[in-house]
Amino acid sequence: MSQGLQMNIFQIIRKHLESGSRGVLATVISRSGSAPRDVGAKMYIDETGRSFGTVGGGLLERYVQEEAAGKMNEDGASIFHMRMDSKTVAEHGMLCGGNVDVLLEPVRPSHGPLYARLAELEQKGAKGVVVTGLATEVFTKTLVEEGLTVTGDPIDEHSAADYLRFLGERRPVIVGEGRLVVEPLFDRTRLYVFGAGHVSQFIARIADMVDFNVVVIDDRQEYANSERFPDAGQIIVRDFIEAFDSLTFTGNEFVVIVTRGHSHDADVLRTALSRNARYVGMIGSRRKVQMIFDLMRQSGYSDEAISRVYAPIGLSIHAETPQEIAVSIVGQLVQVRAE
């Protein structure tokens, strides 16, 4: 059984820098129309041409990869403007049109500590802003955290404090007449999806669209992979229970249990109930749910603890197809998150 872990984009960059590799980081900083990925989407392209993450797939992704290849040996960052008008969409058989601006920045060892810190912050869900300067031939990159901790290229305390005013934004902001890109690190609620079947695919896709940071867990590599889950922030291929060792629980996490069998569901629920989670939901018929709840009671869990489990999971909308079931589940997640 594979025990691999798909790391977040900053962990991938950190590993590449530690191995002496280089690459280019692409970030969607603006979009209009029906462009395929929202702002903040990232893709890292290494010097061999391999890519990690996605900025939308299709023609956009191909053009971004081509632009990135030309920047491997440069020291400046720039914004790539992609215009997908109706003619372009028709000629290339695309599903989405619209305009996209993508920040392209060479990834260099000098910024290694910054990317390492970003990898840590993404795991913790901490807040800060990343400021990328485009005005000089050698671009600058600085992370400013709450409390005015600065990592990367130095800036004065007054400027650092000024950049923190963008903490409340949900997308990158271009300031200083286009010379700076300020990207806030916002705390996307972490959603742990146990199971990588058809329903999970749609859960991951829809949950990502409404700002959940989706982590998919399954012990089957052929199911739990980036081809099936391009919208997942992280994919863990590991035994369900062992995977809990690599998950963070702060009391604000959401757990969705949609594994391939009753026994796996019961095992995951038993472990999830011992963690501090804001939401735990499990798929299944009322009969199946009652059977598993009886097992939980036999394991020593109180009726009060069991009553906090959302099962059968999802809003009551008479959902039948995997897509409809995913809509009902994510709808419930949004409802609970807003409470």
According to the model, what pLDDT value does residue 216 have? 96
pLDDT of residue 5: 38
Q: What confidence score (pLDDT) does residue 123 get?
A: 65
- Reported as a pLDDT band with limits 50, 70 and 90, residue 143 is very high
Chain segment 231-255, per-residue pLDDT in tens:
888 899 999 999 999 898 989 899 9
Task: Walk across the sheet containing 78-84 and list its strands.
Answer: 51-53, 42-46, 23-32, 98-107, 78-84
Q: What percent of the chain has pLDDT over 70?
A: 90
What phi and psi, each to the nearest 5 degrees, are found at residue 246? -100, 5
pLDDT at 35 over 50: no
Specify the range with the lowest mean pLDDT, choosing from 46-60, 190-204, 217-231, 238-252.
46-60
**Token representation of residue 178:** 């286009």
Amino acid 97: pLDDT:
52
Domains annotated on the chain, with CATH:
8-13+20-109 (no CATH), 110-185 (no CATH), 189-338 (3.40.50.720)
Confidence of residue 281 (pLDDT cuts 50, 70, 90): very high
What is the three-state SS of 55-88?
Answer: CCCHHHHHHHHHHHHCCCCCCCCEEEEEEECHHH
> 270: pLDDT confidence band, cut at 50, 70 and 90?
very high
Instruction: Give the mean pLDDT of 196-200.
Output: 96
Question: At 193, is the pLDDT very low, low, confident or very high (cuts 50, 70, 90)?
Answer: very high
> Which of 229, 271, 14 is CA-nearest to residue 123?
14
Are the C-beta atoms of 281 and 256 separated by less than 8 Å?
Answer: yes
Residue 180: pLDDT over 80: yes
Q: What is the DSSP letter of 291?
A: H
Q: Beta-carbon neighbour count of residue 170 at 10 Å?
A: 11
| pLDDT at res. 186 | 67
Percent of the chain exceeding pLDDT 90 equals 63
> Mean pLDDT throughout 121-138?
83
- pLDDT given for residue 323 in this prediction: 96
H or E element that contains 194: strand 189-194
Which segments of the chain does DSSP mark as H helices, in order? Answer: 9-18, 58-69, 86-91, 112-124, 157-163, 198-209, 240-243, 262-272, 286-298, 303-306, 322-338
Average pLDDT over residues 220-236: 90
Question: Quick check: 4 pLDDT over 70?
Answer: no
- pLDDT tens-digit profile of 308-326? 999 999 999 999 999 999 9
Taking residues 150-178, report their average pLDDT.
Answer: 90
Give me the pLDDT at residue 94, please: 43
Determine the pLDDT at residue 187: 66
- β-strand pairing of 180-185 with 173-175: antiparallel
> 229 vs 26, 35, 43, 309, CA distance in Å?
19, 19, 15, 26
pLDDT class of 92 with cuts at 50, 70, 90: very low
Q: Residue 178: is its pLDDT beyond 90?
A: no
